[in-house]
Amino acid sequence: MTKQQYPEPVCGALIFNPEGKLFLMKSHKWKNKYVVPGGHVEVGETIISALKREIKEETGMKVFDIRPVGFQEVIFDKAYWKRKHFLFFDFACKTRSTKIKLNSEAQAYVWVKIEEALRLPMNVYTRKAIKEYLKEDKKKIF
């Protein structure tokens, strides 16, 4: 494995279904805490294309009405299974998908009201993205 030389851009999204419930999944990469689906932006790929691709790969869902929530920096956090420097780009979006097909990155998932989500064990970055979403009152968009 080569040593990381630059921060890695990654994206993830708070995904809401037609009932307004939020999708969260447990990931072994985050010590089995709840997280949002997402992943790396590949060279030559837009952040939105990467977001759609990663969500489809990890959950089988298609998403739309994608809106920015914020960004976060993660520097060698021990909460992640590898020591990396990430730039997280957080979004909120909608889905009409009803069938979930998890890949190996997720061990379980839930659909919850956003207020209930904050009572679940989740990584600090997912919690911060949810709080930012609520603070900016972006929930009215959905």
Confidence (pLDDT) at 76: 78
* pLDDT tens digits for range 132-142: 999 876 555 55
Q: Which domain holds residue 59?
A: 8-137
Residues 6+ apart with CB under 8 A from 24: 34, 35, 36, 109, 110, 112, 117, 120, 122, 126
- pLDDT, mean of residues 112-122: 95
- pLDDT, mean of residues 115-123: 95
The answer to the question of residue 29 being in a domain is yes
- pLDDT, mean of residues 42-71: 96
Strands 63-75 and 22-27: unpaired
Structural domain count, the chain? 1
The answer to the question of residue 83 being in a domain is yes
For residue 116, pLDDT over 90 is answered with yes
Residues 6+ apart with CB under 8 A from 6: 85
Q: Is the pTM of this model over 0.85?
A: yes
DSSP at 119:
T
* CATH number, residue 109: 3.90.79.10
